[in-house]
Amino acid sequence: MSSMSRARVARRIAAGAAYGGGGVGLVGAAAVGLVLAEVRMARTAVGNGNSGGRVPVADGRYGDAYGTGEPPLRLVMLGDSTAAGQGVHRAAQTPGALLASGLAAVAERPVEFVNVALPGAQSDDLDRQVALVLGSASPPPDVCVIMIGANDVTRRMPPTRSVRHLSAAVRRLRTAGAEVVVGTCPDLGTIEPVRQPLRWLARRASRQLAAAQTIGAVEQGGRTVSLGDLLGPEFAANPRELFGPDNYHPSAEGYATAAMAVLPTVCAALGLWPADEERPDVTRREGFLPVARAAAEAAAEAGTEVTAAMPTGPRGPWALLKRRRRHQVETSGLPTDAASAEARSRAGTSE
């Protein structure tokens, strides 16, 4: 499917989400049914690998060595098992811990991290997760990272409904004063047990939803990063390395690759990235595009960022598409409470 065709489909889904429609499909019903059967078969091993199905607890404070006297930045993860970090052994290997450590290193300031993501969650669970985030006695987070969408595809949630819930979550968090970065629906076509031609159909469904998510999130003031094949051609080339033991969730290397792609956007949202990198670089094919076209291009290339730009234009709202350079995620070690929780979660397990 061309980027223009993807843009039209994404625009239709986003419009349906905004105006209450629910009948816009991703692919034909019969094809979706086959994709679901294959993906569910691929998921039967989830929880049976070395991780034992547990999600390491990574909540806590990172970067205490930077004791600047300033209050810590507050980072919250929302979403599904990918946001939670299912599939790895250690808290330090989860995307939230990697992002918190990296953010602390860039900001040279402690980061207080909370993860409210729920394995198996669909986008309609974001309402509950946002309520948890905003209902606490603590001040609103400085930045929230949402990773959601795969379960919406595999469980046949109408894409307009999926985008509607995500857009509402972004709107509520932005209204509360938090910056929001959305890691869009990953490419289900990279799940190793899914065979062709169903792998192509799974990829098509995933990319259509990812593009529509981008439109919905950006129009509510968020930024998006395409997770795609979990960020790089190496994922398809080396599935044994970048998938976890269950062949469905990412491995520690896969999560690190994702975190390296998301971290620059998180830092940019907080004004921590170098100013010269905020200008579009034509050598990296960056620039201003109608938001639907930017969304379609981002969905086709993992690691691509989309953020709102000019309010409107002759072809609707515009956005800035960026292909940021990836930077190695630095870690500052687990916070004390997260290390204790990890030790408890690993008690009795062998590696």
Task: List the pLDDT tens digit at each of the 351 positions of the chain.
Answer: 556 565 666 666 655 555 554 444 444 444 555 555 555 555 544 333 334 457 889 999 999 888 767 899 999 999 998 898 887 888 998 999 999 999 999 999 999 999 999 988 999 999 999 999 999 767 899 999 999 998 888 788 888 999 999 999 999 999 999 999 999 998 877 665 556 666 677 778 888 999 999 999 999 999 999 987 653 333 444 444 444 555 555 677 778 888 888 999 999 999 998 877 788 888 889 999 999 899 989 988 888 999 998 666 556 689 999 988 765 555 445 554 444 344 333 333 333
Nearest-CA neighbor of 334 among 96, 71, 77, 17? 96
d(CA 270, CA 264): 10
Q: pTM for the whole thing? A: 0.80
The tokens 């062709």 sit on which residue? 196
What is each CA distance from 190 to 37, 49, 186, 199, 227, in whole angstroms? 15, 19, 9, 7, 12
Strand ranges, E, within the chain: 60-62, 73-79, 111-115, 143-147, 179-183, 223-225, 287-290, 305-308, 318-322
Tokens of 206: 């995933």
d(CA 294, CA 214): 9
SS3 state of residue 39: helix
Count CB neighbours of 261 within 10 A: 26
Q: What is the pLDDT of residue 88?
A: 81
DSSP assigned state of 295: H
Nearest-CA neighbor of 264 among 211, 223, 214? 223
d(CA 47, CA 189): 20
The tokens 């990836």 sit on which residue? 326
Catalytic residue positions, numbered: 81, 246, 249
Instruction: Give me the half-sphere count of Cα atoms (radius 13 Å) on the Cβ side of residue 21.
Output: 14
d(CA 108, CA 332): 11
Q: What is the pLDDT of residue 164?
A: 95
Tokens of 60: 């806590």
Nearest-CA neighbor of 159 among 220, 219, 221, 205? 205
Count CB neighbours of 183 within 10 A: 29
Q: What is the pLDDT of residue 275?
A: 78
What is the H or E stretch that residue 79 is in?
Answer: strand 73-79
β-strand partners of 179: 143
Asked if the peptide bond before residue 159 counts as cis, ω within 30 degrees of 0, the response is: no
